[in-house]
């Protein structure tokens, strides 16, 4: 199965000095994963991601990057946390960020 994700470096200003965030989007139903600086964890938040990426005022504060660049950015912005692999990202998207609860 071929997975298709888009990775976006997010910058604090339109000067694009250093990435301050990272968004992972899927090509289909609008799922998104991003680094939540407050929680210090990866978070499923498509509303925030789509709102940011679709706002024309943020056009200069985002840049689409490849997976290798996204992995480097993830380590930098998280203090060393790895970007989840694509299988894990797919699992998060499938469950919309909430794992199934056992009976």
List Cβ neighbours of 61 (8 Å cut-off, separation of 6 or more). Answer: 10, 11, 12, 13, 14, 16
- Give residue 103's pLDDT: 45
Rounded Cα–Cα distance for residues 80 and 1 (Å): 29
Q: Are 53 and 23 in contact (CB under 8 A)?
A: yes
Side-chain-facing half-sphere of 11: CA atoms under 13 Å: 15
List Cβ neighbours of 27 (8 Å cut-off, separation of 6 or more). Answer: 4, 5, 6
Q: Quote the tokens at residue 22.
A: 């990272």
pLDDT tens-digit profile, the chain (103 residues)? 456 899 999 999 999 999 999 999 997 778 999 999 999 999 999 999 999 999 999 999 999 999 999 999 999 999 999 999 999 999 999 998 877 765 4
Query: Is the Cα torsion angle 48, 52, 53, 54 positive or negative in sign?
Result: positive
């Amino acid at each position: 199965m071929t997975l298709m994700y888009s990775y976006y470096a997010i910058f604090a200003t339109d000067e694009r000095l250093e990435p301050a965030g990272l968004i992972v989007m899927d090509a289909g139903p609008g799922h998104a994963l991003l680094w939540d600086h407050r929680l210090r964890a990866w978070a499923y938040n498509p509303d925030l991601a789509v709102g940011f990426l679709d706002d024309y005022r943020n056009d200069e504060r985002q840049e689409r990057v490849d997976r290798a660049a996204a992995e480097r950015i993830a380590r930098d912005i998280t203090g060393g946390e790895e970007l989840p692999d694509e299988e894990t990202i797919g699992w998060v998207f499938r469950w919309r960020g909430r794992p199934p609860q056992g009976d």
